[in-house]
Amino acid sequence: PIVGVIVVAAGSGTRLGAARPKAFAPLGSRTILARSLDPIFSMQREAQVVVVAPAELVDEARSIVTDAAGPAAQYASVVAGGATRQQSVARGLDALGDSVRIVLVHDAARALTPTSVFDAVVTGVAQTAAGIVPGVPVTDTIKRVDDDEVVVETVDRAELRAVQTPQAFPRAALAAAYADAEREHTDDAALFAAAGNTVSIVEGDQLSFKITTPWDLRRAEALESSADS
């Protein structure tokens, strides 16, 4: 495949307070990881899928991936993650086959992300060779504060976007940016931009919210049960 998708699922999910690492916590009758793979195996283009899982759950992740992949299982694999998200992505990059030219990095925790967003970021990279990241307008008013929580200023939210995943990049430029990275960045787009590359935003989707807290999980479960009925 020309497209590779790295699904990072190696976090512990402390804020969710579940008994298991977050991607392996239940979402309805399945796991967050299983649900997150649905849109990926429905993409327009066939993709190589690499799931990055906690080392002790690699076997369980393999059976989830095999179930989700169906005939695409030949292009799907699981590798063990690292101590940080950035290290986990790096492990995934190392597992991509030679044919891959466009890499998508996706949080398993954004389990309800629509397939259309995956297809849109692939198209964006194919057309521009820039990094392409889904983003949504910020609806809250954002304040900058000092160390004492005193408000310094109100930031103009018209120029802000809250960014999501999947984030898509030309493979060679992303690999070079990872090889040169000198510190931890909060997302792949920041790491890619720090190496001098351009990143553009495409329209994200409210369904791509990251399941972080118990409240987020309840929201995801409510959306899933209304989708089923």
Nearest approach, Cβ of residue 50 and ligand C5P (Å): 11
Catalogue the long-range contacts made by 185-192 (C-beta closer than 8 Å, 24 or more residues apart). Answer: 185/86, 187/133, 187/163, 188/89, 188/105, 188/131, 189/131, 189/133, 189/163, 191/86, 192/131
| Site membership for ligand C5P, residue 56 (CB under 6 A) | no
The interface region with ligand C5P, picked from 79-87, 137-145, 146-154, 218-226 by CB under 6 A, is 79-87
Show the tokens assigned to 166: 């999947």
**Nearest Cα residue to 79 out of 8, 29, 158, 133:** 8
As to burial, measured by CB atoms within 10 angstroms (0-12 exposed, 13-18 middle, 19+ buried), residue 228 is exposed
Block residue for tokens 């198209």: 123
How many binding residues for ligand C5P (CB under 6 A)? 18
Query: Which CB sits closer to ligand C5P, 111 or 125?
Result: 111
| Site membership for ligand C5P, residue 112 (CB under 6 A) | no
| Site membership for ligand C5P, residue 130 (CB under 6 A) | no
Contact 93, 175 (CB under 8 A): yes
Contact 57, 88 (CB under 8 A): no
Residue in the shown chain whose Cβ atom is closest to ligand C5P? 11
What span, in angstroms and rounded, lies between the C-alpha atoms of 195 and 227?
41
| Residue selected from 88, 113, 164, 167 as contacting ligand C5P according to rule CB under 6 A | 88
**50: phi then psi, degrees, rounded to nearest 5:** -120, 115
Query: Which CB sits closer to ligand C5P, 23 or 27?
Result: 23
| Site membership for ligand C5P, residue 39 (CB under 6 A) | no
Contact 167, 141 (CB under 8 A): no
| Site membership for ligand C5P, residue 8 (CB under 6 A) | yes
Query: Which CB sits closer to ligand C5P, 101 or 210?
Result: 210
The interface region with ligand C5P, picked from 39-47, 105-113, 146-154, 220-228 by CB under 6 A, is 105-113
**Contact letters for ligand C5P, residues 193-222 (x by CB under 6 A):** -----------------x-x----------
| Site membership for ligand C5P, residue 23 (CB under 6 A) | yes
| Residues found near ligand C5P in the complex (CB under 6 A) | 8-11, 22-23, 52, 81-85, 88, 107-109, 210, 212
